[in-house]
Amino acid sequence: MGLPFDKVVNGQHEFVGLFGTSMSSPMVTGIVALMLEINPELTQSEIKDIIRITAINDQWTGDAKNNKCPVWGWGKIDAHAIMKNLEGTRIEDFSNEISFTVYPNPTVNNEITISINDIVCYLPFVVRIYDASGKLVYLSSMQNEKTFDISKLANGFYILKIDNSKRSFVQKVVVGR
């Protein structure tokens, strides 16, 4: 027996589009489950930030991301963009860079602090650290300043990438104990 929304006519499935929280809740839950499958250490805040940063604005949502729209929130969830953020293996070229301070560099006591120098941005940043081969080895998020525990990273050279839908930053980081 098929779902009541799945009707078979002449051997072809006909689907009905539905909307509202009863449809969006299981969709978002499934996307979050996929996110946690890729990186089980993501926090609730990091999941929320990644969903917010990758949200789509279109002709129906308008500029929801910047206006915090009461109807569309931050926009429409974009599962493809989320998975690209979590599974990215190569560092891209960036424009529209923002000035950050990363200290100490080389790191000390398994910690590194990142802070925005020139502006306060309401949209959170995704923080990624790549090893020398370009493989993503650390993922988190931040607002204006945050100290990160990087104790799971081996000593060596890494590339730090920080971005949101508006700004980006790339810097070399040396992890040392």
Q: Rounded CA gap, 173 and 19, in Å? A: 45
> Residue 51 belongs to what H/E stretch?
helix 44-54
Q: Domain residues for 154?
A: 100-175
Reported confidence tier of residue 177, pLDDT bands at 50, 70, 90? low
Please report whether residue 17 resides in a domain.
yes
Instruction: Tell me, yes or no, whether 16 and 70 share the same domain.
Output: yes
Q: Are residues 81 and 10 in the same domain?
A: yes
Please indicate, yes or no, whether residues 146 and 170 belong to a single structural domain of this protein.
yes
| Residues facing 127 on adjacent strands | 140, 162
User: Which pTM value belongs to this model?
Assistant: 0.54
Q: Is residue 161 part of a domain?
A: yes
Number of domains in the chain: 2
Tokens of 131: 């090893």
Last residue of a domain, one of 87, 118, 147: 87
Tell me if 14 is assigned to some domain: yes
Average model confidence (pLDDT) across the chain = 78
Strands (E), the chain: 6-9, 12-15, 100-108, 111-116, 125-130, 136-142, 145-149, 156-163, 168-175
